[in-house]
Structures are given as structure tokens and as C-alpha cells.
A and B are shown apart, each in its own frame.
Chain A
Amino acid sequence: MGIPSYLPGWDPHLLGNIRGDSMDEREKSTVGFLLILPALTILAVLYIYPLVRSIAVSFTTDEGVLTFANYKKVFDLYLKDILYTLFITAITVGITFVISIIISSYLRFKEWKFLDYMYRLPLFIPFLIVGHAMRIFLAPHGTLNSLLTRLLGMKELPGLSGSWVGLVITFVWVMTPFSTLIILGAFRALDDSYIEAAINLGSSKWKVIKDIMIPLTRPSIMVALVLTFVRTISSLTIPLMVGPNKPNMITVDMMFRVNYFRDWGVANALGVISYLIVLGLAVYYLKFMMAERGGLKA
């Protein structure tokens, strides 16, 4: 039981005979556990169970026999789509990183309320609506091309919706505010003295960003990038609405497998592969965090 000795003028002895303080630790943690039990039960039944089930189904036939056939089918049919998914995700993370660093650095050095509010606009718009909006915006005769053809004096421009470029544009549009929010927060938490010292010593702003601000905020930047990666690779609605018909991202493949073929085995095998990709990244991230912490201590 934490006695609030930090309170000014508070005598810890006053608390000695408070009811409940006499309760021993074990009883206390039982009450606490009972309080979180309902929420944990919901999580166990509605999350852990389907998670385990998805792995189990991916390894069994419809009759419940152990099989690797689903995975073989995935590699025969969807290897290209898996690589394409990784490619789209990697490009999205890369571009999002660069734009977030530019916006965050600008706002760290200069106050500009307009940009500070505007960059957050896409944060709360549901992905599905972003998908719909971008379908209209990037269509061959959409808002973007209407403007560009008039500006450039051209008659026709190819539409970007239904191409991987349009898909990446949409992902970057939706992911950047979020990763900027994290990185800008970290930049703003940096002590001015580091930055001013470097600038006084004659470093350019670009060098300060590259050599001081980014290295000092690496853990936050990693969080931003990892979350961008996971959100991109797990998104169904955006590739469904904006992406090309072929190749597909694996989330879209999963949906088609279920909707058109009722093929839960292959759909779940694709799901397990998406788990593995994210887990691989998580392991890398944890290793990085360990190294970072170890480095700080040493």
C-alpha cells in the first residue's frame, strides 16, 4: 500500500490504522483480479479463442485432419500477393517516415498553428470513408485529374485509383498524421539546450535533425513506424476500395477466400502468415528496445 509520504504536511503515521490497510497483499490482489475478470473473460472468449481457432483451422482439413495443404495452396496461389503486400507496406512506411519527419521538424522549430491543426485532419476519419473518398479523388476523371488536366492544359491523365500508386498515396495520407503525432511529441519533449547548442556551434538545421533529434527520439520513431507497418498490413478496406484488382493485398485475398469459396482453411493460413510477419517485426522491435535500454545503462 503506497503511503503518500510525498504529500506536504502529511504524517504517514496517520494512515497506520486505516481500514483496508490491515488487508494483506494477497487478499488485495484477489479483489483486484476479480475486478478485471469480466473484461478478461470477454477478451479470452472473443479474442484469444478466435485467435487460437484461426491457427488451428489453418492446419486442418474440413474433416479436422492435420494438414499442410492450406499452406501449400497459399504458396502456390498467393506468394506474389504476399510479396506485393510487403512491398506496399514497406513503401508506405518509408514515405510516411520521411513526411512525418519533415512536418515534425518544421513544427519543432517554428510554431504554425494552421499546419499543427491541419495535419491531424485524417486521424479520425474511418478507413472505409478514406477509401471511398480516394476512389473519387484519384479516379481517371476524379477531382485530382480535373484539376491537373486544367493546370497542365492536357486532355486526359490516367487515373491513380485501382493502381498501386493510388493505394500507397491513400495509405500515406491516412498514416502520416498518426506517426507525425508520435514523432512531433517526441521532438517537442527534447530539451531546447541540445538543439540550441548544436545550432550555436554552427550546425545546419538539417544536421541537427539528422544527428541529434532523430537519434535521441529513436524509440518513439520506432513505435510510430511499427504501428504504421501493422496498421497498413492489416488494413482490409483501403486495398479493397482503392487497390488494383490484381495483385491483391493478403487481407483482400482472405476476404475473397471466405466470401467466394467458403475456404476457411486457406483464409486462415493467410491470416497466420500475416501474424508471422507482424511477430517477426515485433521480435526485431523488442530486440532493438533491449539494445537501446542496455546501451543507455552502459
Chain B
Amino acid sequence: MNPWRVTLRVIAILLILFILIGPLVGVVLWSFAERWYWPSPIPQDFGLRFWKQVFSQGRVLDSILLSLTIAIITVGFSLALAIPAAYGFARYRIPLERILLVLFLMPQAFPQLPIFINLASTFSKIGLGGNMWGIILAHTMASLVFSVWIVTATFKAIPVELEQVARNLGASRFRTFLTITLPLAVPGLIASSIFVFLWSMGEFTAAFFIGAPFIQTATVLMYTASMGYNLQIASAIAILLIIPSIIFMVIIERYLKAEYIAGLGG
């Protein structure tokens, strides 16, 4: 390669890094900044004070644990609903199958905010407002598309013949499903769980309207901290929420289908 091309390549790499990593650098710096006054380009004092706060101060730690609890229960609900539904879609002739499948996509592909506002208003009347379970229900509904779509595709990819052989050998329908189909579907189940988990952890709107003002998930606390210029705490929570996203993104690269990702981000 001639030197011009090398220079050009280096400039291109720096530019790409600046565009994609640049916005995140400030977040990392702020989370370690004990003192940072303009015009210094980096904090005057670095330290772990705010990270210690994140892990010791009740409010922050509680919100992170709450988000984790909500996300894990949502994954459970989502799988419990999606596994039978996906099996139905994959193995039975369902009238209006395509329309029904698109219906599951609706919460992610149509304005979401009015739905959550009305859900919050209904929930508050029946005692689900300011309540973890209200948020879990909303998250389960909105993330069904990830689990139903991914698990349906997984079941469809498992040859029917495997099930038919087991049935021929005398296994019951249920036993066949439990011992043949389900174990083969595990990778798909894991992928869909990751999508649901990530979506729930990063979700703000439903958590804000349904939980407020009684409970705060990590995202809601991050929002409050960021708007109140408590940038260190907000940045530390932001980093905690980004790390699983990036780890999982590497793990589930081959499940990166545009339809599912459309919903991520909230």
C-alpha cells in the first residue's frame, strides 16, 4: 500500500471511532469525575466516589435490582406465553396466521407512548399503578414480538419428521414436545430471552408512566439524575446498562434480524 492510502485509512478509522465511540467517552469520563470544571477537557479529579455510591446508596442499587427483577420475570412470562404460541404457529394451520403474527409486532412498530399512557391510567385504577407487576405486564406485552417471532422461526426450523419418528415409536404428543422439540429449540429460546431481557432493562416509557412516582427503575432514575445534572450517577447507571447490551450483541450476532432489532432502544 502506498503511504497516501495508509494515511487515508488511518484518518477513516479515527473518524469512525470518533463518531461511534466519541459520544460514549463523555459518559465514561463523567462516571469517574469527582471534579470537572470547564475549560479542562478532562476531569480535574478522577475517582471512584460515585461508583461506590452506585453500589452502596440505597436508591441507586434498589433501582438496578428492581430493573433486574422486572426484566427476569418479564423473560419468564414472555417465554411461558411464547412457547405454546410459537408451537401453534409453527405446527398448526392457523387461520390469518400472518395477520396474527404482525399483530404481535404492532406494539413495537406503531406509536407506543399513547398505549403506555392509557395502560398507566387503567392500571392506576385497578391497583397496578406504582407497582412492579404493572410494569412487568406492560413489558411482557410489548416484548412478546421478540419471543413469539424468534421461537416460531426456531420451531419451524426443526424438522417435523423428528417429531413424527418419536410419535411413531409411541411417545405422546406432550412427551415428544418435551424431549425432542424443546431441547432442539434451546438456542432460539436463549436468543429470544436475551432480546426480551435487554429490551426490558433499557425500557423507559412504560416504567416511567406506570411506576411513577412510587417506584423507579434504573432507566427512570438515570433520567431523573441526568435531567437534574447529577451527571456522575446518571453516567454510572448508563454504563451499567450499556455493558450487557454490548456483551449480548457479540453473543447473538447471528440472530441479528432487522425485524427484532427495530424494537430495541425503546
Contact = CB atoms under 8 A, between A and B. Distances in A.
Contacts of A28: 92-93
Contacts, number: 256
B183 interface: no
Contact of B27 (A10, A18, A136, A147): A136
Given A114-B13, A236-B113, A173 B205 contact: no
A219 interface: no
A42 B16 contact: no
B76 interface: no
B264 A124 contact: yes
Given A126-B202, A128-B219, A185-B258, A47 B141 contact: yes
Interface residues of B, number: 90
A134 B235 CA distance: 12
Contacts of B248: 124
Nearest to A262: B121
Main secondary structure, interface of A, reads helix
B16 A118 contact: yes
B127 interface: no
Contact of B226 (A135, A142, A272, A274): A135
Which of B103, B226, B258 has most A Cβ within 10 Å?
B258
B117 to A, nearest CB: 6
Contacts of A127: 202, 204, 265-266
A137 B238 CA distance: 14
A167 B148 CA distance: 34
Main secondary structure, interface of B, reads helix
A34 B110 CA distance: 27
Nearest to B205: A236
Nearest to B21: A121
Contacts of B142: 47
A122 B20 contact: yes
B228 interface: no
Nearest to A251: B113
B24 to A, nearest CB: 6
B205 A237 contact: yes
B110 A278 contact: yes
B261 A128 contact: no
A236 B13 CA distance: 32
Contacts of B241: 126, 129
A254 B113 contact: yes
Interface of B: 13, 16-17, 19-27, 29-30, 38-39, 41, 81-82, 84-85, 87-89, 91-95, 100, 103-104, 106-107, 109-119, 121-122, 137-138, 140-142, 144, 148, 159-161, 164, 167-168, 173, 198, 201-205, 209, 219, 222-223, 226-227, 231, 234-235, 238, 241-242, 245-246, 248-249, 256, 258, 261-262, 264-266
5 contacts: A10-B161, A36-B100, A119-B16, A134-B23, A227-B109
Interface of A: 2, 4, 7, 10, 15, 18-20, 25, 28-29, 31-36, 38-40, 42-43, 46-47, 49-51, 53-54, 57, 114-115, 118-137, 141-144, 146-147, 150, 173-174, 178, 181-182, 185, 223-224, 227, 230-231, 233-234, 236-237, 240-241, 251, 254-255, 258, 264, 267-268, 270-272, 274-275, 278
| Interface pairs A-B: 3 shortest CB-CB | A32-B92, A126-B202, A271-B114
